[in-house]
């Protein structure tokens, strides 16, 4: 893997559904994996920063896992709500710069 790849590109779920997204990144020269939540016309909001293989982090109904050996991270949202609608970005960082994926656009319908 040469770039940061995210899938799916977009997702439309019903309120209450649980969902997950994937972020794949180059495992060489890896330092940290960042997840952001980005609503239109707002600043991307940092969700998680993970560095260690096997890391799992949780923030309310949102959680994330990290596998640095195989170069992937999953983001899970349990019981999606309409306010979860946003673009979810992941980024891999070396020492100081971030390389972003294209994001997963989530739409949660009431």
Partner 1 sequence: GAVVSQHPSRVICKSGTSVKIECRSLDFQATTMFWYRQFPKKSLMLMATSNEGSKATYEQGVEKDKFLINHASLTLSTLTVTSAHPEDSSFYICSAQKQGSGYTFGSGTRLTVV
Residues of the shown chain interacting with partner 1 in the complex, contacts defined by CB under 8 A = 3-4, 34, 36, 41-44, 46, 49, 89, 91, 96-103
Compare residues 47 and 108 and give the one whose CB is closer to partner 1: 47
Count of other CB atoms within 10 angstroms of residue 20: 14
Compare residues 71 and 80 and give the one whose CB is closer to partner 1: 71
Q: DSSP code of 84?
A: G
**Number of helical H runs and strand E runs in the chain:** 0, 11
Minimum CB separation of residue 103 from partner 1 in Å reads: 8
């Amino acid at each position: 893997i040469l770039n940061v790849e995210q899938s799916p590109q977009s997702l439309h779920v019903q309120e209450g559904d649980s969902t997950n997204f994937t972020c794949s990144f180059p495992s060489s020269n890896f330092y940290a994996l960042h997840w952001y939540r980005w609503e239109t016309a707002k600043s991307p909001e940092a969700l998680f920063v993970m560095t260690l293989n096997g890391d799992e982090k949780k923030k309310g109904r949102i959680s994330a896992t990290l596998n640095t050996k195989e170069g992937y991270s999953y983001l899970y949202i349990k019981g999606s709500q309409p306010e979860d609608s946003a673009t979810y970005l992941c980024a891999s960082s070396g020492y100081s710069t971030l390389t972003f994926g294209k994001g997963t656009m989530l739409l949660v319908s009431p």
